[in-house]
Amino acid sequence: MDQEDRPVLVTGATGSTGRAVLEALAGRGKPVRAMVRREADRERLPVGVQAVVADFDDAVSVAAALRGAGRAYLVTPSAERAEAQQRRFADLAAEAGVEHVVVLSQLAADKDSPVRFLRYHAMVEEHVRSLGIGYTFLRPNLFFQGLLAFAGLVSAQGRFYAPIGDAKVSAIDVRDIGAVAAAALTEAGHEGATYTLTGPAAITHHDIAAALASALGRDVTFAEVPPDVFADSLSGMMPPWQIDGLLEDYAHYGRGEAAEVTATVADITGKPSRSIGQFARDYAAAFSS
């Protein structure tokens, strides 16, 4: 098969960024193969997308999913096994002759960071660099779509909370991450690049509340909570390793370390990244139901 005709494999296809990548790939004229965990998940994909069933923890299934693929988008949840899962996926991609992997990392990935997520992303990047295959690293900031976790609270009580104070964060819409990933998965010129991806402005969570209030036509307020109260609210919803990681993430935001604004989305896609106002208007229904 011609290199050009080999499918693009999209992992995390039922997740936040994977879904955005699939939507951005539509219409680019490349065959796409979406990786899902269960047969039934095929129905969660956009109409017409071909699916393959595989699990990051089952190397045989991942090797089969990668067979014949030309490029691949790699994302896992930031769970304790993420680094091992991503390293193994990259090894299997190299063995399968995949030409290029686009890896979802995070803004400020650094092996010496106090934030465990930033350390593991940096370790994965280093490993991929050592494999001799093509790569693009996407380092986005905090996702707007993460606010959907507060949709019920916003809808019922008009408020949401986090341990972040008045710190500014250049948060980004996952649709813009999807657009950059689709470019890196289908165009030349992104080989060996590390892209720091941000929204168009550094904003506080009070700014986010104001954007939601304006889009919803009602009062929405943001309240600072201490880290231990935030951790308690997440208890039982995710493993302790992940909760501790989130607290480290928020401390990093709180120190103002994620306020950098880049023009990378516009440079690559030709369109500026979406603002919090646009996100709030587009997702207003989710915060109202």
Ligand X SMILES: NC(=O)c1ccc[n+]([C@@H]2O[C@H](COP(=O)([O-])OP(=O)(O)OC[C@H]3O[C@@H](n4cnc5c(N)ncnc54)[C@H](OP(=O)(O)O)[C@@H]3O)[C@@H](O)[C@H]2O)c1
The residues in 66-85 that bind ligand X, with binding defined as CB under 6 A, are: 75-78
Q: Which residues contact 214 (CB under 8 A, 6 or more apart)?
A: 277, 280
Among 143, 230, 250, 253, binds ligand X (CB under 6 A): 143
Does position 37 bind ligand X by CB under 6 A? yes
Q: Give the nearer residue to ligand X in terms of CB position, either 54 or 183.
A: 54
Does position 106 bind ligand X by CB under 6 A? yes
Cross-strand pairs, 102: 73, 136
Identify which range of 6-14, 95-103, 250-258, 271-279 contacts ligand X by CB under 6 A: 6-14
To ligand X, the closest distance from the beta carbon of 233 in angstroms equals 17
Q: How many residues bind ligand X (CB under 6 A)?
A: 22
Strands (E), the chain: 8-10, 32-36, 50-53, 71-74, 100-104, 134-140, 159-162, 193-197, 221-224
Does position 127 bind ligand X by CB under 6 A? no
Does position 104 bind ligand X by CB under 6 A? yes
Does position 117 bind ligand X by CB under 6 A? yes
Query: How many angstroms separate the CA atoms of 115 and 106, rounded?
Result: 11
Among 7, 140, 163, 227, binds ligand X (CB under 6 A): 140
Query: How large is the angle between the packed helices 240-254 and 227-234, nearest 10 degrees?
Result: 150
Question: Which residue has the CB atom at the shortest distance from ligand X?
Answer: 15
Backbone angles phi, psi at 121, to 5 degrees: -60, -40
Query: How many angstroms separate the CA atoms of 125 and 137, rounded?
Result: 7
Query: How many angstroms separate the CA atoms of 261 and 34, rounded?
Result: 31
Among 51, 52, 56, 160, binds ligand X (CB under 6 A): 56
Note the residues at the interface with ligand X (CB under 6 A): 12-18, 37, 55-57, 75-78, 104, 106, 117, 140, 142-143, 146
